[in-house]
Amino acid sequence: MAELIGKGLLKTLLGELKYLYDRYHFKSVHFWDDTFLTDKDRVRKIFELLEEENIRFKWFCLSRINNVDYEFLKFIYDHGCHSIHFGVESGDPEILKIIKKGISLDKAEEVFRDCRKIGLPSTGLFMIGHPGETIESINRTIRFACHSKLDQVMITINTPFPGSPQYAEADKYGTFAKTDWSRFSQQRPVFVPIGLTEKIMLRKRKEFTILFYLQPYRAIKFIKTFFQPGGWEMFKKTFKAALFIFER
């Protein structure tokens, strides 16, 4: 039964991509599916069949660190993947244990190195303000990211959403303004771990951003993206994001 469902989903996805490609001649696709790369055989089948139809496009996806290796990363790069985002969350092993992330930092570093070797731009997704977070653990995260082979980072504020285990337990680890829905944006602290303040959390996010992007390799590469197709739109989005982060 599971095999039949899998074949049905594959056929549906291929049909949608072919229809959109024939009708709109799109150049790029974002697969906003955290589990898109989980089934490697399915991914290989998708792009092998698309190739048979002479359908080629650039695409972006999300992935867990544990779902990829060098061979698979090379396959998706050769079949159009131009950017991949990895949820890392923290560069501190103890924080990763607390949030039950289930990844190792050694594996993360290996994956980022593989992406750099292949030429596949990688982005690390990090959060500040996990349960048990301290200034020291934030600093470890910053050092980990800065010393890694990541090309970009996205830094948000940890937000325990209703229905998650962390939402039910957050009060044990700090102050939680769980009734102020205007702050459930992952950009403003709604949960503040013991020993930290909102001001410290926002300041460390600014520091993280500055230290990461001011490294020569990343600064030059990032600036170059503004001169590529779509660069003006990228510049406007980056400028707007910078204003948002640094005004706080």
Confidence of residue 227 (pLDDT cuts 50, 70, 90): confident
Q: What is residue 3's predicted lDDT score, i.e. its pLDDT?
A: 43
pLDDT in tens, 128-151: 999 999 999 999 999 999 999 999
Identity of the residue numbered 171: D
Domain 64-246 matching CATH 3.30.750.200: the answer reads yes
With 70 as the cut, is the pLDDT of residue 240 above it?
no
pLDDT tens profile 23-38: 998 889 999 888 899 9
**Cα-atom radius of gyration of the chain, to the nearest Å?**
20
Express each pLDDT in 163-221 by its tens digit: 999 999 999 999 999 888 888 999 999 999 999 999 999 999 999 999 999 888 777 77
Q: Check residue 12 and give its pLDDT.
A: 81
Q: What is the largest CA-CA distance in the chain?
A: 57
Structural domain boundaries in the chain: 1-59, 64-246
Is there a contact between 13 and 49 (Cβ–Cβ < 8 Å)? no
Average pLDDT over the chain reads 88
Mean of pLDDT values over 90-118:
97
pLDDT of residue 130: 97
CA distance 178 to 166: 12
With cut-offs at 50, 70 and 90, classify the pLDDT of residue 232: low
Quickly state the pLDDT bin for 13 (edges 50, 70, 90).
confident
For residue 4, what pLDDT band results from cuts at 50, 70 and 90? very low
Q: Is 50 exceeded by the pLDDT of residue 247?
A: yes
Rounded Cα distance, 108 and 101, in Å: 12
Find the range with the poorest average confidence among 53-62, 72-81, 135-144, 233-242. Answer: 233-242
* Contacts within 8 Å (CB) and 24+ apart, 141-144: 141/90, 141/91, 141/92, 141/95, 141/208, 142/91, 142/204, 142/207, 142/208, 142/211, 142/212, 143/91, 144/91, 144/92, 144/105
Residue 33 pLDDT = 87
Nearest alpha-carbon partner for 43 in 25, 28, 31: 31
